[in-house]
């Protein structure tokens, strides 16, 4: 219902404004996002963060496996009938202590995994928001400079997964211009490089 009302409002706005010269631009936001140099930098940064987390998780899991092996060995010793009762008791206590270390390590891994995933999602959302803000600023600036009343997103899909904008004059597609302007400040070969995010 909300979508229908939104479309009726947009159509009504177009009908009211048809008497005046209304300029409408289109932009492929998906393409702009992918081709913006900061998107690639953010993607590489997030990949490095994810890889570091994966490597650390590997270390934690190796440590956990070593603790489990030690706990199994101590548990086997606790059941060894060749040992004296006192030695079996010591082995059982050591096995219990080893199992407590296993449980502590499992908890550490679980907490680390949850915290790291939350942090990676936060970083991804933060970078995405910054990039989208840059893109929106440039689209708004270009729309104002070129006197466009509306800018429609070509990458938008309808409820039927069809493009929302089906037909448009290619001259009204500002995607290339927006990408060019956003990437104008990217580091050029031989210059200092782009700062890390």
Using CA atoms, how far apart are residues 142 and 34, in angstroms rounded to an integer? 19
Mean pLDDT of 33-61: 94
Residues 27 and 173: beta-carbon distance below 8 Å: yes
Rounded distance between C-alpha atoms, residue 183 and residue 31, angstroms: 13
pLDDT at 117 over 90: yes
CA distance 57 to 67: 15
Q: Which has the higher per-residue pLDDT, 20 or 104?
A: 104
Q: Evaluate if residue 19 carries a pLDDT over 50.
A: no
User: Whose structure tokens read 């429609």?
Assistant: 152
Going by pLDDT thresholds of 50, 70 and 90, the confidence category of residue 15 is: low
In this predicted structure, the answer to whether residue 195 has a pLDDT above a threshold of 50 is: no
Per residue in 74-96, pLDDT tens?
888 777 777 777 877 887 888 88
Q: Are 146 and 57 in contact (CB under 8 A)?
A: no
pTM, two decimal places: 0.68
């Amino acid at each position: 219902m909300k979508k229908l009302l939104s479309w009726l409002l947009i159509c009504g706005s177009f009908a009211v404004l048809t008497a005046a010269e209304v300029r409408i631009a289109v932009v492929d936001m998906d393409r702009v996002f992918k081709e913006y140099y900061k998107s690639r930098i953010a993607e590489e940064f997030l990949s490095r963060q994810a890889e570091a987390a994966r490597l650390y998780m590997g270390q934690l899991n190796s440590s956990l496996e070593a603790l489990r092996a030690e706990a199994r060995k101590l548990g086997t010793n606790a059941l060894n009938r060749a040992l004296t009762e006192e030695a079996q008791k010591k082995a059982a206590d050591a096995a219990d202590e080893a199992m407590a270390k296993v449980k502590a390590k499992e908890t550490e891994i679980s907490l680390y995994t949850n915290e790291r995933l939350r942090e990676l999602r936060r970083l991804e959302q933060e970078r995405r928001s910054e990039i989208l803000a840059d893109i929106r600023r440039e689209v708004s600036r270009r729309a104002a400079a070129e006197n466009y009343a509306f800018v429609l997103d070509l990458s938008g899909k309808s409820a039927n997964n069809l493009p929302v904008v089906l037909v448009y004059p290619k001259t009204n597609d500002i995607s290339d211009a927006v990408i060019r302007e956003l990437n104008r400040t990217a580091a050029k070969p031989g210059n200092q490089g782009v700062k890390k995010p």
